[in-house]
Every structure is written in C-alpha cells, then in structure tokens.
Amino acid sequence: MRYKYTAKYTKIPSGYMGQIIEWQEVITEGKSLRECRFLLEDALNEMILAYQQQGKTIPLNDEDIIETLSIEVA
C-alpha cells in the first residue's frame, strides 16, 4: 500500500529540520536538505513499521486540505 504525506523542511543553524505535517511525531535533522530528506523518509518508514508491529492505526492524509496562504503585513 502506498501512503502520501507532506514534508516540511526548515533551515536551522546546523542544517535542516524535516517533519511530516500529518504525523508530527516524525521529525529529524540533517546537515543538508538532501540528507534531511533521506533521514525523514527513513524515520517515516520506521514509524510505519513500529505502528504496524503494535497494531496501531497509521495516520493518513485522507481529509486534510493543505495550502499555502500569502498575506502582506504592513
């Protein structure tokens, strides 16, 4: 089964922090954006495996609406 998630990357002093929007417990850091992406995918796979082994329901992005809002601040 294929799941679809949204990743958020934030620049931090040591590189990048990556987090899954729909499953905020899945979070990691990497020295580069490329490394952070790799580590976040690995963390997501590990979390899915752990949830499956524990018989927990895997959070899905079935009903979320995610969009970018742009506003001007005076």
**The domain that contains 69 carries what CATH number?**
3.30.160.250
Residue 7's DSSP bridge partners are 20
Residue 64: per-residue pLDDT = 64
% residues pLDDT > 90 (the chain): 64
**Number of domains observed in the structure of the chain:** 1
Average pLDDT over residues 11-21: 96
Give yes or no for residue 62 having a pLDDT over 70: no
pLDDT one-digit tens code per residue, 23-42: 989 999 999 999 999 999 99
Domain holding 20, by residue range, is 1-74
Reported residue count of the chain is 74
Higher-confidence position of 67 and 10: 10
pTM of the model: 0.80
